[in-house]
Amino acid sequence: MNQNTSKVFGYVRVSTENQLENYSIEEQTVRIRSYCQAKGWHLLKIYTDGGYSGGNTNRPALQQMLFDIKQGKADAVVVYKLDRLSRSQKDTLNLIEDYMLAAGVDFISINENFDTSSPFGRAMIGILSVFAQLEKDQIAERFTMGRIGRSKAGYYHGGPTAPRGYRYIGGELIVDEFKASQVKEIFRLFLDGKSINGIARQMEQKYGGRWNAAGVRVILLNSVYVGKVKFAGTEYDGRHRPLITEEDFQAAQKLLFSPERDARKNSAQKNPFRADTLLSGLILCGRCGARYAGNHGYYKCYSRSKGNLRYVKDPSCKNDNWAISELDALTISSIREMLDNNELLNAAIENARPASERKSNEAEIADRIREINTQIERLLDLYQIGSLPTETLSGRIQALDQEKRALSALLEKRKDSFDVRKQAFLENIQNFCDHFDDSDLDTQRLLIRSIIESILVDGRNISVQWRI
């Protein structure tokens, strides 16, 4: 590279599990700026991904940088350390060779002191990326071993969102007596012949909040209520107090998977969705508005496949087909990532709020409350210097105070309403992560439908509408 005319992009990243490392966002930025200044390079922009894992490339700043690289805007990319670009060997080599070098853009890592403008640097990239992958795998292995050890000791490992009926305090499950009574009631109603959907409706009417068939089914399947903890498909005796007897739990399992269950008048259908694909009924065409259906290994727009003419919206629609396995995997991955990534979770929750409950609207209300407080203070100042009669002061302050009370009540009402929906959404995601892999297809569909309202397909672009 020409030392005087090179145009450079910088890239910095800190993942949520690495916040305690010695190279923070600020430290990486300072090192990159100093390095470019010493080399006489023109640093065009520093792309920052804060709170994103290096285990994949699904990072907004990284994707924007790759797009800008394709536009020919830079001669080189500089990072402080190789694993800031990626901890995956495959992703590291793909990013450098297929995106950067293919576009004539060199890659420089300050900490390792090499760059891809030399053959030795290109060879070292491959070697060091192997060690980055090794470190990632070792961290995952230690984490898994730790969770197995905790499970064997009887500790629940599902995270701070405890199963209904418990609270997660000090690393242990502590019984929440009020919600525990709800769990016991669900088992009693189910064993008495009540359908799953009927139980969900009854619980919602009696206790409020958002209940659905998926949530009830997850409770009925969860062995935590008989004192067990589970990890990687293996159950261990838990330290917590069980809520259901082993006899009642096994009776519920037998009833759930009994072939006679379909014939029971008061029982929910064992197969509530006729299709044999995970996402059927959720996918919508972003171009013509028709639904997608799964057949012959692909999810296809009805308008394009013309499998059922009643559902055709636009016979000329050419929206993409998606391999069933690919879209299923992408959807499952998106749900799991939502639980691990607070930034994505908060964005999804905020976007799901009605327009009347958005933060911008709440900010306007809060500004008005502050303005009222200021007006009241000014009125009191005028009264103290004798510029305002008592009668006038009293009337104005009373009017302002009434407005303030009304606005404050509105803010509190919105907060309470949305907090309930947010908590239900978090619980549904946790239920999904805890039980999806071990569940049958019917339960998997219910778990996904408790989280996702719809999936909009537009070519290769996927947009998920979360059920919040």
User: Which long-range contacts link 408-417 to residues 24+ away (Cβ below 8 Å)?
Assistant: 408/369, 410/365, 411/362, 411/365, 411/366, 411/369, 414/357, 414/362, 417/357
Q: Known catalytic residues?
A: 15
* Structure token digits, residue 299: 């999810």
Spell out a b/e string for 369-384, using b for 16 or more CB atoms within 10 Å of the CB, else e: beebeeebeebeeebe
Q: Please name the amino acid found at residue 212.
A: N
CA distance 397 to 410: 20
What number of other Cβ atoms are within 10 A of residue 168's Cβ? 15
Provide, for the chain, the percentages of residues in helix, strand and coil under a 3-state DSSP scheme, each rounded to the nearest 5.
55, 15, 30
**DSSP string covering 205-269:** HHH-S---HHHHHHHHH-GGGGTEEEETTEEEE-SSPPSS-HHHHHHHHHHHT-GGGGG-TTSPP
Q: What is the dihedral of CA 357, 363, 366, 372, to 10 degrees?
A: -120
Q: Minimal CA–CA distance to 238: which of 228, 249, 226? A: 228
